Amino acid sequence: MPSLTIPVVTIDGPTASGKGTVASLVAQALGFAFLDSGALYRLTALSAINDGIDLQDEAALALLATGLDVQFIGEKILLSGQEVGDQIRAEAVGVAASKIAALPAVRAALVGLQHGFLKAPGLVADGRDMGSVIFPEARLKVFLTASVEARAERRYKQLIGKGFPANMTALLRDLQERDARDTNRQAAPLKPAEGAHLLDTSLMTIDAAVAQVLAWYREAASQN
């Protein structure tokens, strides 16, 4: 666990809750680095699919995760120098990522990589266990959620906007299955971190959610 003399904001929550967009905008507003931890699992899944690795082969997947060559440059996500931002958003990759994220060895393999994103002047990290496991001493912890119906609609629009096929019924079922898998897994189950602020964005705009997180951060920073 790295020293948190550098401020960290963690934004955790379920799939398609909007946490990635909110976290990215908060990072921009604060001038902080940004970590999309979910992308690391998607990148591992994409690499496994491309290399033909069995998604139940925990040891092979952990080894693969340890050697990921990842760069976040603005909105671009590079894997071994190639831009793969759109590829990792495909539903098949998302489903595979959710499955391998339940494997303790894979999660352990990615801890060091995630800690490596911590740098001055600060970090905003989004994921499932950023506040509960990876950065438990974060200055501000947020657990951002939304109804499964609102999340399915957002995911549908996101996929259609990127040119991927999408079916609302299938998306609802998939999100419910992912929620159950993420919540009930033994390794770092999805839950609000101790001391986290809860933010339901079902009826909120992105701008309103960002404003709320920034207000909480200013309050937390004034107390340190």
Least confident of 31-45, 88-102, 133-147: 88-102
Tokens in use for 193?
Answer: 């971190």
Residue 182: pLDDT above 90?
no
Are 100 and 106 within 8 A, CB to CB?
yes
Instruction: Give the sheet arrangement for strand 140-145, strand by strand.
Output: 33-36, 123-127, 8-12, 140-145, 197-200
Q: How far is Cα 133 from Cα 166, in angstroms, rounded to an integer?
A: 33
| pLDDT tens, residue by residue, 107-127 | 999 998 899 899 999 999 999
Number of helices followed by number of strands (H, E) in the chain: 8, 8
Give the pairing of strands 197-200 and 76-79.
unpaired
Residue 2: pLDDT above 70?
no
Are 92 and 49 within 8 A, CB to CB?
yes
Of 192 and 224, the one with more pLDDT: 192
Residue 60: pLDDT above 90?
yes
Which pLDDT does position 1 carry in this prediction?
52
| pLDDT tens, residue by residue, 18-57 | 899 999 999 999 999 999 998 999 999 999 999 999 999 9
Give the residues across from 79 on adjacent strands. Answer: 70, 82
pLDDT band at 94 (very low <50, low <70, confident <90, very high): confident
Q: How far is Cα 95 from Cα 76, in angstroms, rounded to an integer?
A: 21
Least confident of 138-142, 169-173, 187-191: 187-191
Residue 90: pLDDT above 90?
no
Rg, Å, the chain Cα set: 17
Which pLDDT does position 3 carry in this prediction?
52
The closest alpha carbon to 13, from 175, 186, 203, belongs to 175
* Residue 220 burial (C-beta neighbours within 10 Å; 0-12, 13-18, 19+): middle
Complete domains list, the chain, with CATH: 8-214 (3.40.50.300)
Average confidence (pLDDT) over 177-182: 86
Which pLDDT does position 196 carry in this prediction?
97
Tokens in use for 212?
Answer: 């709320």
Are 128 and 36 within 8 A, CB to CB?
no
pLDDT band at 186 (very low <50, low <70, confident <90, very high): confident
pTM, entire model: 0.85
Other Cβ atoms less than 10 A from the Cβ of 211: the count is: 15
The residue to which tokens 């404003």 are assigned:
211
Give the residues across from 200 on adjacent strands. Answer: 145
